Each structure stands twice: as structure tokens, then as C-alpha cells.
Chain A
Amino acid sequence: MISLKFSDGKAWCIMAVNKIKLPHLKRTKNSETIDIPVPEKVVISMSQHMGAPCRVLVNAGDWVKAGQKIGEGDSFLSCPVHSSVSGKVTEITDILRADGKYTKAVVIASDGLQIVSESVTPPKVTNREEFIEAVKESGLCGLGGAGFPTHVKLSFDKDKTPVDSLIINAAECEPYITSDYRELMENSEDVLDGIKKVQQYLGIKNVYICIEDNKAEAVKLFEKLTSSDSSVKIVKLKSLYPQGAEKVVIYSATRRIVGEGELPVNRGVIVLNVTTVGFISRYLKTGMPLVSRRITVDGDGVRTPCNVRVPIGISIRKLAEFADGNIEAARKIILGGPMMGTAVYDPDAPVCKTNNAVLVFIKEAQEQPMTNCIRCARCINACPINLMPAKIEKAYKAKDISALVKLKVNLCMNCGSCSYVCPAKRELAHTNQLAKELITK
């Protein structure tokens, strides 16, 4: 780790961002996406991503069609929710989210016919404003996991924060997950078309498609497909974690450092997940909003790990059953990857737009006992942001807010590397989140 100096956010001496080695476990790499049969019931949460929850537009007893808008967001940081099936709304209920808050959800009994709503028509897009509006109406949020509403990312101020680089994040550095890899392999045309659309309407010069080197076939394919386009560069990243974290991928592709309190646009960059950009192309062609997505189902609790295209709102149980999973024996179910995903308490919880994987574990769920910190500094050498998790933990225990502020715990992105490498099995990443909450109080 060499200390860095930078002007305009660009590092001018080469500095390695700390990363760690993880097992890849990409068992579903070659599993082509399968459509899951339409479930009898979907539960569509009005809070699909970060930002304000949506207002419900339908009532119990209403008939809805696939692609029909059923929830509308009023704040800037939200996008609408659509029905993923055709059928009858049986109830509007409250569901408990992973963060402990209740949110409204629409329960729809499917009629199995998947009648498409009349509102589903290709949007008319001729300029930047119409493009951003179309993206908003599609209900698109980042499909890589964090789930930032995409239209918000796209509507940067051209004069204040000019953007010259678009980064397509296809690093997919979490173990198990291959849904973005399948997007690269199966929908390469959509991905490239989506990139062209974003480039065209937002006027972005350079494109970097960032792929980890454990996906050699994808790297080869895209190098071939983009060989005639000088504005698109394929960036081959080492397969290390957290290569796909926004700040890390921006640094890897452009050597720009997104500072504290800044957004990527402040450094002239926007980052879009590869499936997100592929969806933009499909939406502009068909007008079908974000009502389904590809999910990797894996873990030692499923017998047939696979990639499945599912309607938003399907239950985890249905998905696990589809992959021949034994949900009764499961000890831990994770929405997302093993490093940053959320453990769910209810196997009947619905899948959201941001979930890229469902992992069912039977054996691998055993917790190891926590022992004393031995100050080995592995957490410090693993942190991509150069934080000091061991020190933060001590300061948090002492509830020393000024020390926590100085230690910059607010910069923690909860990648989990510190907890992963800790020989004493301390919950360092979790403590960082508690500390973040403590200092914002």
C-alpha cells in the first residue's frame, strides 16, 4: 500500500487498493437461464430498493395485467413498481423488511395467463429528457445489488458535473453468483445496444466494460464484439474481492478516486451494472417494465444449482423448490451473495428487483466461536478503503464518537472483507455498520 497523492481526484502514483482472495464457487457459470413456471401467487413489495417506498395504486379485488403499474413513487429517489403477473389482487398487506421496517406489499393471485397490459408499448425516445423519463417509467433500479434508482444516476447535471466515462460493472466478485455473467453471454447484443443508447442520449465519450479474469470467455467475446469501436474498452480485472464495489471498479478502470461525500458523477463517471444496461435496451425495444429478472440459485441446500428468470415477487421457497432444494432442512437462506447478502428469517419472503441470487445453506451455516482480537492487522490489510476495523471496534465498544468520526467509519461500504479474514472470527463489518449508525445519531 503506497500512500497516494491526487489532484482532480486522479491518483498520479500507482496505488493498490486492498483486496482479498475468495473461493469463486461459480458452479452455475454454464447454466443457461431457465424461465420458472408462473407461480400461483406473487407478493410485490412497494419498497424494492433504497429510497422512499411507493404508493399503492390498486385495491384488493382489482384485476391486473402483467406490466401494469401498481405502485408509484412520489419522491425523486424512487421509481414505479409493476405487476409481474396477470391476475387478481387478493390483498394489500404489510411485510417486514430485512431492515426491520414494515412496508406495504401487493399480493396478486396469478391467473396463469400472463396477459400483457395495454400500457406496455415501446416508449418514444428522441432526446435525453425522454430517455431518462423512459428509464424512470421502466421501474429500473441497479440490478447488481445495491439498487440505486437508475434514472437518478442518469440525470446528472451536464454543466456542473460533466461525465466523460461510463463504466459497465460486470465484475461480479461475490462467490456463487453468475447472473451477470449469464447476461454477458446470453444477451451480449442487448448489453452493447444499451451501452450505445446511454452513450448516445447522455453524450458520454468513453465506455469501460469491467470483467473479472475468471470469466475469460466473456472477456474474449466482448473484446471481439467491440474490436471495431474505439470508444469501448474492455478492462480485465483480477478475480479479487471486492473488485465490483463501485469505488474500487472506478479506480481500477480510470484511476479516479471518488472522495468522501462525493458521487461518481463528481469524478465524471457513472457506473451501471451489466444487467441494468442490458435491460435498458430491452425496455426501449419492448416497453415491458422491470417485472422479472435472472437469479442464481445455489448453496449446498439445492441439488440443481441454476440460473432462473423469475417474476418479481415470487417466494424464495418456490425458487428453492425449482432448484430441487430442501428448504425444510435449510439453516440459512441468503438473498444476494455470501459476502454482502441478507440472511432472511422467512423462506416465504418475496424476491425483489435487487436480488441477484438466492443461496440456501444447510451445512455451511455453522457459526464459529468468537475469540479475542490478537491485533494481527489482517482486517486493516484487507480493507479496500484502508480503514482500521480493529480500532473501530474498540472505539465503538467505548462509544467514543469522536474517535469513530476520525477513523472515518462512515466510508465503510460493508463489503465484509474484514470479518472474512479475521482469525478471531469477530463481526467487524457488522460493528462498522453499528458504529456508522451511532455517529449519525
Chain B
Amino acid sequence: MEKLVVSASPHMKSGVTTAKIMTHVLAALLPAAFASAIIFGGRAMILMGFCVAVSILWEKLFCLVTKKKDTTDDLSAAVTGLLLSFNLPVTLPLWMAFIGCFVSIVITKQLFGGIGQNFANPAIVGRIVLMLSFPTAMTTWAEPFYYRFDEVRTGATPLVTKSESYADLFLGNVGGCLGETCKAALLLGGIYLIAMKIITPHTPLAFIGTVMLFSLAVGEDPVYQLLSGGLILGAFFMATDYVTTPVTGKGKVIFGIGCGILTCVMRFYGSMPEGVSFSILLMNILVPYIDMFTPTRPLGAKKAEKKKGED
């Protein structure tokens, strides 16, 4: 007979894998991707497909060059690529998106050790680097339902105009990044993620709640603030990234509140109209400290006795 396998218990594992989780996230992003294809047309589809393909390509290439195991089958690169494309204006030249994918995958993720090791959300860093490098291209907002490839009609983001109707904002009939405009589709995806227990509602609720309360306190329209810009995309899909957010419920709430305050400060008092991505990046940096101060309380644990010489 063959030798028996001797391993530590448990001898049974659940069917959940990283790839399955990422598939759920991709599925949750699908409604918004469809909405974007309808709102911005073929150009949006090309940009989304391009970002996904290039992100996977960069990861494959990096693994090949550094002689590491190819990790693209966990689909996290595809999620990063799609999320990055959601954060780009539909008119962005493809070569700029190519650079954005490089920053996201190679610099932010792989150089820190690959999935699970990066301290900042790859898609957000990709967006911010593009934003700082190509400010004009990154803030050229195409008008919705104007499908021509040869020319673009542009307008301002609703965060600047402050004149769109709630219905237009909710359904996405406004200018903005290609994936962030249709709130209805994003909410559908967010609810799907919560229902499938991929994410917990802590961060999105704390994030959105803080933004609305802050807006109310300083006399801005909370519903308008909720429905414009990248808040819903950020709160449900970027601020809930496992790797770069706290692990406990308490920590997640603190993270969400921090993101909300920073977003409002940047939106209302900063020089840029939008602050969601910067606020998430800044809070990403604080995650190890949030984790340090929000451990779980083990059942029946005694308080650690302080010994002399230790703090």
C-alpha cells in the first residue's frame, strides 16, 4: 500500500479559496461595469478590458522575471485591474492606463511581496499616481451617452457643479470616472458582497455615515454628497479590501470613520473636488496601528499581569 498521509488536524477544509472570493468581487463589480458600458459606450468597455488584461500581464511578467510562482490564478490582479479602470475617466489614453496598471500591480503589490503583503490598496495607488502625473487627462470628464470615439464632449464633475438631480446621480447620468457614476449598480454589487459574506457592513456604513453626518454638520447636502463622486465605489469596494484594512469589527468602524472625515475635509476645504481615494490611502497607512489598538478580547482571558521591566 501507499504511505498514509499524516497531517495535523483539521482534516477537512471549507471550499472557500482566494480565487473564489475574488470571483465574487468580480461578480459584484459586473452591474457597475454594465452600467458603465451603457453610459459611456464602447470606450469604457475597451478601457476596462485593457486594464484587466494588462494587470494580469504585469503580474505574470513579474512572477516570471523574479522566478516566483505565477499567482494570477487567484484573480486578484483582475480585480485590481477592473477597480483601477473604474477609477479612470473614460477618455484616458490607453498608454496612461498601462502605466497605472504597472504602478498598481508591480510597485504597490508585487514589490511588497505579492497578495496579502501590500500596505496600500493597489488600485488606489495606481489612480493617485496617474492623478498626480496627468492631472488634466485624469480630470477630463466625458459627458454620459455621447458614444463617439473621435471627439469627446466634456463637463465638470457633479461635485463641482452641485446642480445634478438625485435621480441622475443615482442612475449615473452624470460625468465622472467610468465606474463610479451609477450608484444603483454599485449598491447592488455592495449588497451582493455583504449578502455573500465576502465583506462586513462595518466599513461602508461607518464611511458613508460619517460623510453624511459631517456634510449635515457643515451645511452641505448629505444626500448629494453621498451620491456624487467615488464615495459608494470607495466605501464598498476599496475601503473593504481585506489586505489593506483592519481585521476586527471595531477596527473596521474606526477605519471607516477616519476615511469619512478625511474625505469631507478634502472635499469641502481642499483644493481638489474629490478626496475618497486619498482618504483611503491615508487610512491604509494607519491600519497596523488601528489593528494594534483593536485586538479581540479572548473569551475568559485574564488581564496580562504586568511584570517589572516590561511596559
Contact = CB atoms under 8 A, between A and B. Distances in A.
Interface of A: 1, 3-4, 9, 17, 22, 175, 247, 251, 257-262, 327-334, 338-347, 359, 361, 364-365, 367-368, 371-378, 380, 383-388, 390-391, 402, 405-408, 411, 414, 416, 419-425, 427, 429-430, 433
B6 A344 contact: yes
Contact of A374 (B2, B4, B115): B115
Interface string B217-256: 0000000000000000000000000110101110000000
B49 interface: no
A330 B304 contact: no
Interface of B: 1-14, 16-18, 20-21, 71, 74, 76, 113-117, 242-243, 245, 247-249, 291, 295-302, 304, 310
Of all A-B residue pairs in the complex, the 10 with the closest CB atoms, nearest first, are A416-B10, A430-B8, A372-B116, A259-B300, A338-B12, A377-B247, A408-B298, A386-B296, A339-B10, A376-B242
Contacts of A433: 8
Given A259-B302, A331-B5, A376-B242, A341 B11 contact: yes
29 contacts: A4-B297, A17-B299, A251-B299, A260-B300, A331-B2, A332-B5, A338-B9, A338-B12, A339-B12, A343-B4, A343-B8, A344-B4, A345-B3, A364-B12, A368-B13, A371-B115, A374-B115, A374-B116, A374-B242, A375-B245, A377-B242, A383-B296, A386-B298, A391-B247, A408-B301, A419-B13, A421-B16, A423-B16, A423-B18
Nearest to B114: A372
Given A374-B115, A386-B296, A386-B298, A380 B12 contact: no
A390 B247 contact: yes
B247 A420 contact: no
Contacts of B245: 375
Contacts of B2: 331
B289 to A, nearest CB: 14
A69 to B, nearest CB: 33
A347 B1 CA distance: 10
Contact of B249 (A1, A407, A425): A1
Contact of A375 (B3, B4, B5, B243): B243
A373 B1 contact: no
Contacts of B76: 374
B240 to A, nearest CB: 11
B12 A260 contact: no
Given A375-B243, A423-B20, A338 B11 contact: yes
A429 B74 CA distance: 23
Given A344-B6, A372-B113, A423-B17, 20 more contacts: A247-B300, A257-B299, A260-B301, A260-B302, A333-B4, A345-B3, A365-B5, A365-B11, A368-B17, A371-B74, A372-B116, A374-B76, A375-B242, A375-B247, A380-B248, A411-B298, A411-B300, A423-B20, A423-B21, A424-B116
A331 B2 CA distance: 7
B298 A385 contact: yes
Nearest to B310: A402
Contacts of B12: 22, 175, 338-339, 364, 420
Contacts of B1: 327-330, 347
Nearest to B73: A371
Nearest to A418: B10
Contact of A262 (B6, B74, B300): B300
A338 B10 CA distance: 6
Given A22-B12, A377-B242, A388 B4 contact: no
A361 B12 CA distance: 11
A400 to B, nearest CB: 13
Contact of A387 (B13, B114, B298): B298
A416 B8 CA distance: 10
A427 B255 CA distance: 29
Contacts of B248: 377, 380, 388
A44 B225 CA distance: 74
B5 A429 contact: no
B201 to A, nearest CB: 13
B23 to A, nearest CB: 11
B8 to A, nearest CB: 4
